[in-house]
Every structure is written in C-alpha cells, then in structure tokens.
Structure 1
Amino acid sequence: MNDTPGWASPGSAPSDGQEPGKSGPDRPADRPGSEQPADRPGQPQGHGSKWSKEQPPPAQWSAPTGAPAPGQAPPPPPPGPGWGNRPPAAGGYGGHGSWGGGWGGPPPAAKPGVIPLRPLGVGEILDGAVSTMRAYWRTVLGIALTVAVLTEVVVVLLQGFFLNDTFDTINDPNVTFDELMRAMGDTMISYGVLSLISLIGTVIATALLTTVTSRAVLGRPVTTGEAWRDARPQVGKLFGLIFLLLLIAFGIVAVGVLPGILVTVAGGGGAGAALTVLGGLGAVVVSLWLMIRFSLASPALMLEKQGIVKSMSRSVKLVRGSWWRVFGIQLLAMVIASIVASIIAIPFAFLADAFSGDSVSGLLDGTGGSLSWTFLIISGIGSVIGSMITFPISAGVTVLLYIDQRIRREALDLELARAAGVQGYGTDTPGS
C-alpha cells in the first residue's frame, strides 16, 4: 500500500533512532511551536535551507505516526479489505481464515451430526430426518422393521379370524336386524383394537427412534440395545401421555356434538342435525388446535425425562407463537409419509388381489368382502415395508422440530455443541 501523509500501516511507525531517508513516510522537519534550525544534528550541511520559508501555520501539521497531539482526533484507519481485527470465534462463527479477504458474512454453523446447530428451515428438518435414517440405517430400520412386523402380525391375525366373519354376516342378504347390528358392533370393536395395536407400535417406535435421532444430532452412534435402555424408563409415561391426549380429543368432540344429539332426540329434527354438524366441526377445530400445542410433548417427555403433565406444559411453551409453523411442518411430514406408504402399499394390494382373487373388488361392490389369507399376508408385507420407512420420518421430524424450537427459544445449540465436543463454540457469548 502506498504511504501517504497522515496514513500509515498499523505497526509501521519508525523505531527510535531510525534515520531519515530510510523506509517510512517523509515528514517535515518543523514541528508545531518549534523553530527550524539551519543545520540539524544528523543532517548534511545546508539541509535546512532547502525547505521553503512559506510553511503552514503552526498546529496544522501532525506526525503521520505516533500519538496524536492533545486535542486532536487520531487518524482514521486505512481503507480496504483485510484491515482491523477479526471478531473472535463465538457461537460457531469466526476463526482465523474463515472470512476470506473481506466481510462476506459468517461461515456455516457447526454441524457435528445430521443438522447444523442453528435455527432450522423446513427443508433442513426433513433432510435431517432422512439423513438420520441413512446414517444409522441398521439401527433405525432394525427398530422400525421389528415394530412394524410385530404390529402387522397381530393386525393380520385379527382381520383373518374376526373381521372376515363380520364381513360375511354384513353381506348376507338374509341377515336379521339384530344380527346386523351385532356384526357392525363387532366390526367397530375390531377396528378399535386394530387402531390401538397400531398406536402401541407407533408409540414404541417413536420412543426408540427419539433416542436415535437425539444421538444423531450429536453425531454419536447408538445401537438398538442402547436406545431401548435409554427409552425404557419413559415408555410407560409415553403410553399415558398418548392415552391422555386421545381422551382429551374424544372428550372435546363428544362435548361438541352432544347438544345437537340432545336436540335431535328431543324432536328437533333438522335443527338438531345442523347443530350436531356445527358442533362437530367446532370440536374438530378445537381438538386440532390443542393437539398441535401438545405435539412436542412426546420428545419433551423422552429427552427431558419429564412427567406427563410437565411434558405437556413444555410443549405448550415451545409451540406458543409458532403454532402455524409447527402445524405446517407436521402436516407436510404426514403428507410425505402417507404418499410414501401409499406408493409402497398400493402395488402390494394389487399383487395380493391378483394372487388371491377378487378380494378388493368384492369388498367394494358388496358381492364379497371375505379377505383370504393370501391377500392379508401379501398386503401386510407391503404395510410392513411402508411402516419401516414412514416410522423414522415421522418420529425424526417431531424430534428435530422440538430441537429447533428449543434452539430458537432457549439457545439449545450451545448445550448441543458442548455435548458434541465442538471446541470454542459459544465461549465468547455473554452468559454462556
């Protein structure tokens, strides 16, 4: 850089005893308030006579380097990139050599595992769930496959031994009214049992995959046995949480439709039916609003080792102010999981129909409905494969969404970085 009067490179001031004429900026011989001798020590004879007699008035020249005179502001720093000190590394940012030649913005956050340690976008949450499944596929797919197989075996057995009989009774043209009502009641009970079994499988898979995903964020491997040992103390509470949430949802719906039912029974007719529909819609909206507010209770219960009520209050706190974002991300994850499951299950359903006869068409047109064991087994294989893929996606998105909300509200990224052993992360952050 060219040295100009009034500017100097940092640290380039001449040392004591440096001779004039050497490297460094030229300076005038006179100083404010001092006289100009004809010949100064260390200068050739006649040197002083070479300076013009028309010098600037006193107190308007200052040395390019050194301390400023009293009452004068120091010269501004030299322009251009690369000057000045870089900010210290804090919170995963900074560090020597990470900024390039200028101020181009902070470098990427630390990423010890499947997600960067900063607030996440929607794509990063979905990618983190898929990356967990890819990086820990043995553990993740092993857990999902085991739970899906056990669940589907029970479902197939119930369908084969109980639902087929009720279907035959319902489709019998000579069935009496009492037999029809009894068969419909048995069908509802059977479907309730199937839903409960599926829910149990989902809860167990979620409990185990929550542990795996939390380790994946730190970049640490985990085996199925380790995941089970870590999740086992909280599994009972997780069942209690799911049961309580279902009870709340059904209770709200029952309260919403009860006035319309009472009006209908009292002879209200159309008014009662309209009130039932409106009450049901309102109850569904309220239930959805509450379920989203409680949607992060499961990872809070598993990872914070909280009780049922405390985990629900933690979820409400984390979702507050972000209801639409949480709802949108979970809805998107559910749609993706449903599409993936359908893509896998539909070919198996047609394959099962081809090998077992017209089971599907007979069920649809009312001429049959008795599902053969071949159909149930082949379609069950498709359901197992679909569940093996959708379980990790659903559980991973919920856990990563919980972690993202805690990073945004509680600076959890600092704790995660320290747990992952990231050096110097957040050391300069106040209060870290």
Structure 2
Amino acid sequence: MSDGHGSSPGDPGTPTGWASNQPPPYGNAQGSPWTAPGPAPDPPAPPQGPPQGPWQPHGQAPYGQPPHQQPYQQGPYGPPPYGAHMPPPAMRPGIIPLRPLGVGDILDGAIKLMRSNPKSVLGLSAIAAALGAIPLAIGQVIALESITPLLENPNAAPDEGSFLSQYGGSLLSYAIQFVAVTLLTGVITRILGRAVFGGKMTAGEAWTLTRSRVPTLFGLVVVNLVILLVPMAMIIGVFFALSSAGAGVGVIAIVGVVAVLAYVAYAFFVSTRLVLAPAAAVLERRGVVDSLLRSWHLVSGGFWRTLGIVILTQIIAFLVGQLLSFPFVLGGSFLVLLGESSDGARIAAAILIAVGVTLGSMITYPLQAGVNGLLYADRRMRSEAFDLVLQTAAIEQRRQGWVHASADDLWDPSITPAGPARHEPPGQGAPWPHS
C-alpha cells in the first residue's frame, strides 16, 4: 500500500523515493530497452579520510592547505584554473625588480641605468672613451698612410717608422683605457647601487664616494693580469724548451693545440669566478684579496649561468660598438686613402675615427659595467636572500618618500643600520620614483 510519496516495495519500474505521479528517471522507464536488468546498483560509498596520492581535484588546493596558498600554475591549454593564486609582481622602485633576476632583467637594467642617469653614466663614459680613442685614431691614420704607397705599388717596401708610430699610438691608447675603464667601472658601480632604489647620483658625488676604492680597483686589475699572464708565460717557456730540445714539428703542434685549449678554458674559468670582484670592492668596501674571495664565493653554484651572461654581454657589446663606429671609421679610412696625404684629410680622418670609437665605447663601457654590477646583485639575491633586505629598505623609502644616501650602506654586509633612516629635507636626497 502506498503512502502517497512512493510506490510499494514490490512495484516494479518506479524507484523508491519517487512520487507515483512523477515520471521515473531517464533510463528506468518500465519496458524501456535501456533499463538495466536486475536490481539497481548500490550508490558509491562516500570517501573516507583525505584523498591519497598526488592527484587533486581541478582548481582545488591539496588537503589541509588553504586555497590562498596554492601556487600559480599556468595550464598548457589556456589560463590557470579558477581559484589558482597569482603571485604579486615584485617591487621595482628603480632599474630592476627586487627579486632574483633573469637575463632580460639584467640587460634591461643595464640599459635603464644609462637612461636614468644619462649625464653621469654617459658623460663619464664619453670622457673615458675619448681619452683612449684619440691616440688610437692617430695611430690608425698613420697606419693607413703607410698602406697608400702599397696600393699604388705593391712591390714598395713598407715604412718602418709608420708602423712604429702605429704601435706607439695603440700602446698609449691601451694604457689610457686601462686607467680610464678601471675608474669608470668603479664610478658606474657606485651609481648603480643607488639606481637600484630609483635614486640618482651626480658624477661628482659618485667620484667622491668611489675615490677611496681606486687603489683596490687597480690592485684587482693587476692581480687579474698576473693570474692570466703567468700561465701564458709558462706555455711560452714550454715551447722554447721543446724547440731547444729539437722536438719535431708534429709534437710541437700537438702540444700547442692542447696548451691553447687548456689556457682558454683556464682563462674563462678564472675570469668568470672573479668577475664580481670590482662590484664587491666598491659596494662592500673590501680589499683586493677579500674582493677576489668574495667574487669566487658568490659565483659558486651559478658558474655556467654567469659565464653565459658574460659571453652574451661581450657579444652584444662588440656588435653594438662595431655598428656605431663602423660608418665613422670607414669614412675616415676613405679620407686618408683618397686625400693624397693632405693635412686636412689627416685631421678630418682622425676626428671621424675618434668620434666613431668614442661613440661605440661610451655605450659598451657602461653596458658591461652595468651587467657585471647587476650580476653581483643577482648572485647575492639568489645565495643570500638579499632581495628581502632590498625590499624592506624600499618599503621604508617609499613610506618616507625619499631615496636616502644611506641606502648605499645596505650593500655592505658589515654595516647594520641602527634604525630606520631619518627624513631628509628636499634637496638632500632623491624623491621616490613614482611609477
């Protein structure tokens, strides 16, 4: 007998729980060919306890983990699932985001360094490049004049004095570049330390802060030269010993190939491990040996990445330098070859070559120095969580609205700030950059 809410237990075709005046669910109609024979299957048992295994329902956090802690995961076929958490963008008060940097961040930061401080960075780079380009341009003009008789008469003997003059100009140019680029690297690194927070620095202020680090910078260059030249001198000594012993040409050739490959690998390895020493010397105020050891330690664990970025930067700098200087060098060469050795042609050619070399170097010098400085910052953020220190300082500077000169001390691990930086009146700091 029915109670009005369902059929009797023996009534076939109407499942329990369905009213008699309602049609049965699809597939259970009486006489339907889709009705499964026999009794209806039991409903599945509810799951007991947390799900096992790595699989989780789509768009849900793992068992026991709040949904807001679920990491962002981009699906292969479109946007992330509903409920996925996207991390907030990193703070970027200055030329880089305050997090471990990618290759694009480093190159972009080096370019932004030149754009944010054009007078200091590009102005000083132009002076350093011009000092090295002028003697080099004079030497190239003299060398081109010595080639002119050979073009008219291939059997003519070259002028020995012209070649000596060329070598003298090149050696003088390299000596000037050695001094200028070493000083420029230190000054640009100091400007970079402030530019990370969005602050600016004049050339005079940068030189005042870097002046005490000049002996250390020159010491680093000398030590690097010794480290690279001593093995080369040993290889040359081996060649002389083999020649004196009467070794065959094949033996000398095999030894030479092996020695050259070994030296190239050695030079790449040592140069990469010590590439961060200038930044450590300037920003952390370390000595020569301490800066070398600091660079060696920071590059540990990221050697191949550092080597790849350094090589990529060298390639980009070479291409940019050649692209900017080639039209001027080509024009100067034509003036010398077609000017019939007139004084006006020589002067115009020297000016054109000097302008081309200066234009190329004033871009490549700060690019390489900026990349090395940002590599130093990246290695500290990856190995020492230094990005947390930078973020904390940036938050305080944003709250106060100024990029203080005391931000330079944050790069020195031996200096612990006693408290938050005090407010500075306008004119004694850089205002916080507004995005």
> TM-score by structure 2 length?
0.65
- Show the counterpart of 2:348: 374
* Contact 1:262–1:272, Cα closer than 8 Å, also in 2: no
1:136, distance to aligned residue in structure 2 (A): 1.7
Q: How does 1:28-427 map to 2 (within 5 A)?
A: 102-157=83-138, 173=156, 190-270=169-249, 271-358=251-338, 372-422=346-396
- Taking a change above 3 Å as real, the CA distance of residues 165 and 406 of structure 1, as seen in their structure-2 partners, is same
Q: Is the 8 A contact 1:129 1:393 kept in 2?
A: yes
Q: How many correspondences in the alignment?
A: 323
- In 2 relative to 1, CA 237–154 (structure 1 residues): closer, same or farther, beyond 3 Å? farther
Higher mean displacement: 273-282 or 396-405? 273-282
For 1:272-326, what per-residue CA distance to the aligned partner results, in whole angstroms no more than 9, with x for missing partners?
Answer: 3432332233122212211111111111111111111110001110111211100
1:186 to 1:423, Cα distance in 2 relative to 1, 3 A: closer
- The answer for the alignment partner of 1:43 in structure 2 is none
Map Cα deviations across residues 14-51 of structure 1 (whole Å, 9 max, x no partner): xxxxxxxxxxxxxxxxxxxxxxxxxxxxxxxxxxxxxx
Q: 2:31: which partner in 1?
A: none
- For residues 312 and 389 of structure 1, what CA distance do their matches in structure 2 show? 27
Q: How far apart in 1 are the matches of 2:198 and 2:398?
A: 18
- CA deviation after TM superposition for structure 1 residue 264, in Å: 1.3
1:257–1:280 Cα contact (<8 Å) kept:
no
Q: 1:424 to 1:395 in 2, by over 3 A?
A: closer
State the one-letter code of the partner of 1:206.
T
3-state DSSP of counterpart to 1:115? coil
| Distance of aligned partners of 1:380 and 1:172 in 2 relative to their CA distance in 1, 3 Å threshold | farther
Q: Which runs of 5+ in 2 are unaligned?
A: 1-48, 50-58, 70-81, 400-435
Query: CA shift at 1:415, angstroms?
Result: 2.0
Question: How far did residue 165 of structure 1 move?
Answer: 9.3
Name the CA shift for 1:280/1:186 in 2 (closer, same or farther; >3 Å).
farther
If the length of structure 1 is used for normalisation, what is the TM-score? 0.66
The 1:386–1:424 alpha-carbon spacing in structure 2 relative to 1, beyond 3 Å, is closer
Q: In structure 2, give the amino acid aligned to 1:324.
A: W
Partner of 2:196: helix, strand, or coil?
helix
Separation of aligned partners in 2, 1:300 and 1:166: 46
Q: How far off is 1:173 after superposition?
A: 4.6
1:113-165 superposed Cα distances (whole Å, 9 cap, x missing partner) = 111111111011001111111122222211111222222234345666x8689
Q: What is the rounded CA distance, in whole Å, between the counterparts of 1:125 and 1:330 in structure 2?
A: 11
- The structure that has the greater radius of gyration is 1
Amino acid at match of 2:242: V
Aligned-residue offset at 1:424: 11
In 2: Cα distance, 1:157 partner to 1:316 partner = 40
Is contact 1:261-1:273 (8 Å) kept?
A: no
Is the contact made by 2:132 and 2:174 (CA closer than 8 Å) also made in structure 1? no
- 1-side partners of 2:157 and 2:374: how far apart? 55
How far apart, CA to CA, are the structure 1 residues paired with 2:127 and 2:163? Answer: 32
Q: 1:254 to 1:217 in 2, by over 3 A?
A: same
Cα distance between partner residues in 1 of 2:223 and 2:371: 22
Preserved CA contact (<8 Å) 1:166 1:186: no
Contact 2:189 2:279 in 1 (8 A): yes
Residue 261 of structure 1, CA deviation = 2.4
Aligned to 1:347, the other structure's residue is in SS state helix
Larger RCO, structure (CA 8 Å, separation 6 or more): 1
When residues 424 and 354 of structure 1 are mapped into structure 2, their CA distance, relative to the original with a 3 A threshold, is closer
Counterpart Cα distance in 1 of 2:240 and 2:268 = 22
Encode CA deviations 1:226-255: one digit per residue, 9 max, x unaligned.
111111111121011112101211111222
Uncovered stretches (5+) of structure 1, i.e. residues with no partner = 1-72, 74-79, 88-100, 363-370, 426-432
Contact 2:272–2:307, Cα closer than 8 Å, also in 1: yes
**Range with bigger deviation, 395-404 or 285-294:** 285-294
- Following superposition, the deviation at residue 421 of structure 1 comes to 3.8
Mark the CA change 1:210 to 1:305 in structure 2 (over 3 Å): closer, same or farther: same
Contact 1:145–1:384 at 8 Å: present in 2 too? yes
Helix, strand or coil for the counterpart of 1:343?
helix
Name the residue aligned to 1:52.
Answer: none
Question: What is the aligned-residue identity percentage?
Answer: 34
